[in-house]
Amino acid sequence: MRLRLPSGRTLVLALPFLWLGLFFLAPFLIVAKIALSEGALGIPPYAPLLRWTDEGVLTIVLNLGNLATLVSDSFYIEAYLRSLRVAAISGVLCLLIGYPMAYAIARAPEHRRNLLLMLVVLPFWTSFLLRVMAWIGLLADNGVVNNLLLGLGLVSQPVALLYTDFALYAGIVYCYLPFMVLPLYATLSKLDPVLLEAAADLGARPWRAFLTVTLPLSLPGIIAGFMLVFIPAVGEFVIPELLGGPGAQLIGRVLWTEFFQNRDWPMASALAVVLLLLLVLPIAWFQHVQGKGAR
C-alpha cells in the first residue's frame, strides 16, 4: 500500500488553520477551562475540572457561577457597555480625523506619499507606554496645555483635563489613529481618478462626486479601519488606567483587577471569554453576510 503524501496546495491551506489553532483556539480553550473552574487557595488559584471522588470515579465539575454573575451583576454589565461605547466613539473620531488625512495622502504627488506615510507611522517608533505617559505631561494641571492657556490669559486657573473623558478619548485616538489612516489610504489610493472626472463631466459638483463615488468605494477601508480601532480599544487597559482616572472602569481594567488584585482567575477568564465572544461573533457574522453579498 502506497502512502499518499498531502499535496503542496493542501499544506499551504493547512498552515493558516494550524496557526489559528495553535495561537488562537488552544489559548482560548485554556482560558475557557479556567473560566469554568472554581476558585481555590493555591497556585494556580483555581480547582481542576477533572477530579477523582472518594469512590475512585473520575468526574467533571463545571462552575457556571462566574458566567451567571457576569449577566446578573450590573457592575460588569456597565463595564462592558462602557467599553463598547468608548470604543465606538473612538472609532468614529478616528474616522473623522483619519479620512481627510488618508484622502490628502492618496491625492498627494507620488514622490511625497512615502514621506507622509512615514510621518503617520512615526509614533510607532517609540514605546506605547511612553506615548501615553507623555499625555500626562500635556494635560496635567501644571502641564503644557494649562500653562499655555494661563500664559495667553484664556483661563484664570488650570482646567481639569487629566483623568477626564477628554483625556481618555484623546489618548485612544492618538494611539490608534494610524490603524484608521493606513487601511483608508490603501483603499483611496486604488480609486481610479477617471471616475471622478466622469462624474464632473456629468455635472456633479465635487461634494456630490465625493458622496456618490469616493465615499461608497472607500467603504471597505472604512470598515477595516473601524474594526482595527474598535477591537483593541474595547479591551484597552493602559490608556484608561493612566488617563481616564478612577471613573473609567472599562472591561480591561476590571479584568486586570480580578486577575492581579483579587486573584480570581476564573472570574477574569470568564470576563475575557465573554469579551472575545462579543467581538468575534459579530465580526464573523459580518464577514458571512459580506461574502454572501459578494457571491
pTM, to two decimals:
0.87
Q: How confident is the model at residue 191 (pLDDT cuts 50, 70, 90)?
A: confident
Element at 256 (helix H, strand E): helix 251-256
* Residue the block writes with cell 478616528: 94
Across all residues in the chain, what is the average pLDDT?
Answer: 87
What does the pLDDT read at residue 4? 62
Q: How confident is the model at residue 6 (pLDDT cuts 50, 70, 90)?
A: low
The rounded distance, in Å, linking the Cα atoms of 9 and 70 is: 44
Which residue, 246, 196, 186, 134, is CA-closest to 254?
Answer: 246
Q: What is the pLDDT of residues 212-258, one digit of tens each?
A: 888 888 998 999 899 999 999 998 999 999 998 887 889 999 999 99
State how far the alpha carbon of 191 is from the alpha carbons of 8, 55, 85, 260, in Å.
35, 71, 32, 49
Task: Decide: 220 and 228 in contact? Cβ < 8 Å.
Answer: no
The rounded distance, in Å, linking the Cα atoms of 144 and 138 is: 5
CATH architecture of the domain with residue range 73-263: Orthogonal Bundle (1.10)
Task: Decide: 57 and 261 in contact? Cβ < 8 Å.
Answer: no
pLDDT at residue 3 tops 70? no
Secondary structure class of 157 (helix, strand, coil) = coil
Q: How confident is the model at residue 7 (pLDDT cuts 50, 70, 90)?
A: low
Domain ranges of the chain: 73-263
Q: What single string gives the DSSP state of each residue in 67-96?
A: HHHHHH-HHHHHHHHHHHHHHHHHHHHHHH
The rounded distance, in Å, linking the Cα atoms of 128 and 295 is: 41
pLDDT at residue 292 tops 80? no
Amino acid at the residue 265: W
The rounded distance, in Å, linking the Cα atoms of 97 and 93 is: 6
Q: What is the pLDDT of residues 246-280, one digit of tens each?
A: 878 899 999 999 988 888 999 999 999 999 888 88
* Residue the block writes with cell 466613539: 89
Q: What is the pLDDT of residues 111-164, one digit of tens each?
A: 899 999 999 998 888 889 999 999 999 999 898 999 999 998 888 898 999 999
Task: Decide: 272 and 255 in contact? Cβ < 8 Å.
Answer: yes
pLDDT at residue 175 tops 80? yes
Task: Decide: 62 and 53 in contact? Cβ < 8 Å.
Answer: no
Cβ neighbours for 261, distance < 8 A, ≥ 6 positions apart: none
